[in-house]
Amino acid sequence: SSSIFDSFDAAPQQRRQKSAAHHTSKANIDATYEVEKEQPLHIPNCPALWNEWRERLIHVVAARRFLRELARIISSFDGEPNDVTMVDFAQRNHPLIPTGAAEVLRTACDSEGLLNSIFKSLSELGTSFGIDETVILEQALELLLTTRMPRRLVFAVLLQCLLGRGDLAEDLVRDAASFQMNSSEFLGFSNDTIVDSRDTRYYTSSLWARRESSSVIWQLELCLWLFRGGA
C-alpha cells in the first residue's frame, strides 16, 4: 500500500547516488594524478654528446648572466656603447660621445672597487652554477667576438685583465687604435659639408664610419682612464 512517506524516500537515494558518483570521479582523478607522478622521465643510456651539449649550455647561460652584470657595472661610467639609428646620427640629434663623459673623466677611476665588484659577481655565478670562474670568463670572451665587435672594447679589456692577460689587453687597445688611425684617413675628404653648408654625398657616405669611429674612440678613452686608475 502507498504511504505519504513514499515521496521522502527517493531524495536520500538520489543524494547518495550523486555523492557516490562524485567520490568515484574524484577517485579517478586522483588515480590519474598518481599515475602521472609515477612516470618520471628517465633515459637509461644518455649519449655522451648530450652531456657535452648540456655542459655547453650551462657555460653559455652563466657567461651571458655575467656579461649582463658586467654591463650594469660598466654603465656607471658610460662604458656600454649606445646604439643610435643612422637617421638620428645623420640629423646630428645624437652626441658623438656620452653627455656624462666630462663628469666621468674628471674623477679618478676607482679600479680597486670596480674590480672587487666584478670579482664578487663572478664568484657568486661560479658558485651558483658550480663551474670554474675561468670557464665563465673564457665563454664570455667567445660571446663578445671582439674581432668583429670592436665597440665593446672595454668589456674585452676588463675580461682579459680578470684572466691575468694584461699583455693581450694592451694588444686589443693598440690594434683598435691602429685600426682607427688607418681607417679614418678618408674622413678628411668628407668634411666639405662645412664649406658647402650642406650634406654632400661624400659626407653622407661616411656617416657609418663616423658613427663607428666615435664609439670606438670613446671606448679607447675609457681604457686609458681605467689604466690610469690602476685597472
**Which of these, 221, 215, 192, 220, lies nearest to 204 by C-alpha position?**
192
Q: What is the Rg, in whole angstroms, of the alpha carbon atoms belonging to the chain?
A: 33
Q: How much of the chain, in percent, has pLDDT values that exceed 90?
A: 13
Span 105-144, pLDDT tens digits: 888 888 888 888 999 999 999 998 889 999 999 999 988 8
Q: How many residues does the chain have?
A: 231
Mean pLDDT for the chain overall: 75
Cell 660598466, residue located: 74
Ranges 1-5, 45-49, 171-175, most confident: 171-175
Mean pLDDT, residues 76-105 taken together: 75
H/E element, 42? none
C-alpha cell at 138: 673564457
| Better-scored residue on pLDDT, 186 or 131 | 131
* Measured CA distances, 61 to 52, 89, 117, 125, 147 (Å): 14, 34, 20, 10, 22
Q: Which residues contact 176 (CB under 8 A, 6 or more apart)?
A: 150, 153, 216, 219, 220
CA 60 to chain CA mean position, Å: 11
C-alpha cell at 56: 655547453
The DSSP string of 77-120 is GT-SPPP--HHHHHTT-S-SS-TTHHHHHHSPP-HHHHHHHHHH
Question: 166-183 and 153-162 helices cross at what angle (nearest 10)?
Answer: 160
* The one-letter amino acid at 91: Q
Residue 157 pLDDT > 60: yes
